Structure 1
Amino acid sequence: MLRFRTSVGTLLAIAALAIATTGNTQERARGGRGQAVPGKEAPHPPKVDAEAPEFELMNLKNEPISLRKLSKNGPVVLLVLRGWPEYQCPVCSRQVAEFLSKKAELKKAGAQVVMIYPGPAALLAEHAKEFQGEIELPDHFHFLIDPDYTFTNAWGLRWEAPRETAYPSTFIVGADNKVKFGLTSTSHRGRESAANVLEELAKLQ
């Protein structure tokens, strides 16, 4: 079985290239390509202005992190990754590297960034550690695991097809716990850029 082992740590070295290429090749949900196998049902994420479903997930230090606790301090940016679909997703690594390259701007905007890594519970934490590599996350970034898709199902993002996990998505949740922005892709690409998220965060201020 072919497994990609490119970690976020490795990809930070080429974050600038990732930012440039992502901006030119984004394939949005409304016109995406590259979906190998359709899911059994289409994604049905929370809509803008709807209440964001609460969740509590563990980070890699086995500490519980909840949406409500984070949103008390300002907007929360959720990056729903593909996690462990039997390999490390290189597009997810590039997206995370891009957001890390904008960590100062995101902190200035008052945002907490939550990256959610879903997959089968068995060995998920080990795979997540491999994905993160040697990178120490700043205090406003949180890398959480979603064993057996508890969060993914609650948010209507389960991509139930061979070698799939969750539909890649980006959300902004406000201090009032309502969804202020959302973009869900039905392909492996079509990710929201950090630059566009910063523009959306500026609108909240």
Structure 2
Amino acid sequence: MIAKKFLVLALGFLMMGSAPLTTAETPEVGQKAPEFHLSTPDGHPLSLSEFSAKGTVVLVVLRGFPGYQCPYCQKQVHDFVTNGEKFVTAGAEVILVYPGPPADLDQHAKEFLTKENPLPGNVHLVIDPDYAFTNQYGLRWDAPHETAYPSTFLIDRGSTVFFRKVSHGHGDRTTAADVLGELERDRAAHSH
């Protein structure tokens, strides 16, 4: 009898352990952006709150390193970097999230930036080697040769999302002009 109860209890624990993990929901416009702590490829820690306390945060989630350097990501990052001064004028810090498998992700991220170095002072690249951020934001693109859905969030001083775009393909990314237009609309809406 005791052995039978133990077996039922053990099976119950095994079944609980094999339950599918739930994925976090992607933050919607009007919701708080979940806090995160990530590091640059050189190991410098950054958090959302340290940037949102200063002003608007443009959070751009890249595909990162799905086994190669994504040309769509390179084009998008180049666009944001070359418009870096316009983001300074708009009072925005840009955080680029580069997810991927943990092995050598810091080196892959450094290689990714070779054409863009040095980054403007208000543009920061962070790595997500364990997909903690990607999963926290519900953006994990869990398919062969994929990492995260390319996404952009605009986050205000109170850490509230006021714009979001999630792409479920490689293209259809936000451009610097798209984001600068949204920042201008938000500033105009709050100046009246």
Which TM class, normalised by the smaller chain length? 0.7 to 0.9
Aligned twin of 1:102: 83
Corresponding letter in the other structure for 1:201: L
| Alpha-carbon distance in structure 2 between the residues aligned to 1:155 and 1:119 | 15
SS at match of 1:128: helix
1:203 shift after superposition: 2.2
List runs of 5+ in structure 1 lacking aligned partners.
1-40
> What is the match of residue 149 of structure 1?
131
Contact 2:24–2:136, Cα closer than 8 Å, also in 1: no
Show the 5 A alignment for 1:77-156: 77-133=58-114, 135-156=117-138
1:67 aligns with 2:59: no
Deviation at 1:43, TM superposition (A): 9.2
> Does 2:153 align with 1:171?
yes
**Bigger Rg over Cα:** 2
* Residues 43 and 158 in structure 1, CA contact (< 8 A), matched pair in contact too: no
Tell me the number of residue pairs that the alignment of Structure 1 and Structure 2 aligns: 165
Q: Deviations over 1:117-138 (max 9, x none)?
A: 0011111001001100151111
- 1:6-46 deviations in whole A, cap 9, x for unaligned? xxxxxxxxxxxxxxxxxxxxxxxxxxxxxxxxxxx999421
Note the residue ranges of structure 2 that are not aligned, 5 or more in a row.
Answer: 1-21, 188-192
1:160 and 2:136 correspond:
no
Paired position in structure 2 for 1:182: 164
With CA pairs under 8 Å and 6+ residues apart, which has the higher RCO, 1 or 2?
1
